[in-house]
Amino acid sequence: MGIRGAVRNGWARARGWGAANPWAVDIGIALLVQAAMTMPFVVPRGPELEPATWPAYGLTALTVLPLVWRRRAPFAVLLAIVAASTLYVLALEGPGQPLPYTGLVSVYTIAVLSPPGKRLATVVLLVVAVPISVWLNTRSVRELTFSLFVFGAAYVFGRLQDARQREHRIEAERAAARERARIAREMHDILSHAVSLMVVQAEAGPVAVRTAPERAEAAFEAISATGRDAMVQLRQMLGVLREGAEGTAPREPQPDLAGVPDLVARVRAGGLAVSYTTEGGVRALPAATGASVYRIVQEALTNVVRHADARTADVRLSHADGVLRVTVTDDGRGPGAGPGGHGLTGIRERAAAHGGTATTGPGPGGRGFEVRVLLPVPSTAEVGR
- HEC secondary structure over 8-63: HHHHHHHHHHHHHCHHHHHHHHHHHHHHHHHHHHHCCCCCCCCCCCHHHHHHHHHH
Query: Which pLDDT score, from 0 to 100, does residue 339 have?
Result: 47
How far apart (Å, rounded) are the C-alpha atoms in residues 190 and 347?
14
Query: Which pLDDT score, from 0 to 100, does residue 381 have?
Result: 42
Query: Which pLDDT score, from 0 to 100, does residue 276 have?
Result: 93
Query: Which pLDDT score, from 0 to 100, does residue 279 have?
Result: 87
The phi and psi torsions of 126 (rounded to 5 degrees) equal -65, -40
What parts of the chain have a pLDDT lower than 70? 1-20, 48-50, 93-94, 200-201, 203-219, 232-233, 235-254, 281-283, 335-342, 379-385
Query: Which pLDDT score, from 0 to 100, does residue 184 have?
Result: 75
Query: Which pLDDT score, from 0 to 100, does residue 153 have?
Result: 94
How far apart (Å, rounded) are the C-alpha atoms in residues 69 and 22?
10
Neighbouring C-alpha atoms within 13 Å toward the C-beta of 318: 10
Query: Which pLDDT score, from 0 to 100, does residue 383 have?
Result: 41
Query: Which pLDDT score, from 0 to 100, does residue 94 have?
Result: 67
Neighbouring C-alpha atoms within 13 Å toward the C-beta of 28: 6
Looking at the chain, how many residues does it have? 385
How far apart (Å, rounded) are the C-alpha atoms in residues 272 and 162?
59
Query: Which pLDDT score, from 0 to 100, does residue 10 have?
Result: 59
Q: How far apart are the first and last CA of the chain?
A: 34
The residues spanned by each domain of the chain are 3-139, 183-376
Give 221's contacts (C-beta < 8 A, 6+ positions apart). Answer: 269
Q: What amino acid is encoded at 270 in this protein?
A: G
Query: Which pLDDT score, from 0 to 100, does residue 164 have?
Result: 92
Burial of 342 (0-12, 13-18, 19+ CB in 10 A): middle
Query: Which pLDDT score, from 0 to 100, does residue 317 have?
Result: 93
Q: What amino acid is encoded at 203 in this protein?
A: E
- pTM of this structure: 0.55
DSSP 284: P
Q: Homologous superfamily of 183-376 in CATH?
A: Histidine kinase-like ATPase, C-terminal domain (3.30.565.10)
Query: Which pLDDT score, from 0 to 100, does residue 384 have?
Result: 39
How far apart (Å, rounded) are the C-alpha atoms in residues 171 and 185?
21
The phi and psi torsions of 125 (rounded to 5 degrees) equal -60, -40
Query: Which pLDDT score, from 0 to 100, does residue 327 have?
Result: 94
Measure Cα distances from 35 to 42, 71, 83, 99, 104 in Å.
Answer: 11, 21, 21, 13, 15
